[in-house]
Amino acid sequence: MGQITELPQVVPADPGKPVRPEAAASQRTSRELAEHPSTWSHEQADEVVRRYTELAPVWDGDRGGYRSVPLTDALQRGGPWPAGLCLEVGCGTGLLSALIQEVWPKVVSLDLTWAMLSRSPAPWRVLGDASQLPAGDASAQAVVLADVPLFADEVVRTLTPDGVVVWSNALGEDAPHHVPIETVLGALEKDSGADWSAVMSHAGWGLWAVLRRGEAA
- Please write the tens of the pLDDT for every residue from 157-166: 999 999 999 9
- Does position 94 have pLDDT exceeding 90, yes or no? yes
Confidence of residue 64 (pLDDT cuts 50, 70, 90): low
pLDDT of residue 60: 82
- Does position 136 have pLDDT exceeding 70, yes or no? yes
- Does position 118 have pLDDT exceeding 50, yes or no? yes
For residue 143, list its beta bridge partners. Answer: 87, 165
Which H or E run contains 52?
helix 42-55
pLDDT of residue 216: 38
Give the number of other Cβ atoms within 10 Å of residue 106's Cβ: 13
pTM metric for this prediction: 0.94
- Does position 184 have pLDDT exceeding 60, yes or no? yes
Residue type, 148: V
> Phi, psi at residue 99, to the nearest 5°?
-60, -45
For residue 157, list its beta bridge partners. Answer: none
Mean per-residue pLDDT, 136-158 = 96
* Residue 86 near residue 106 (C-beta atoms within 8 A): yes
Residue type, 165: V
Mean pLDDT score of the chain: 92
- Does position 39 have pLDDT exceeding 50, yes or no? yes
Residue type, 84: G
Mean per-residue pLDDT, 61-89 = 91
Percent of the chain with pLDDT over 70: 97
- Does position 26 have pLDDT exceeding 60, yes or no? yes
Sheet holding 107-111, edge to edge: 4-6, 194-203, 206-216, 159-169, 140-146, 86-89, 107-111, 125-127
pLDDT of residue 217: 35
Mean per-residue pLDDT, 67-94 = 96
Mean per-residue pLDDT, 102-122 = 95
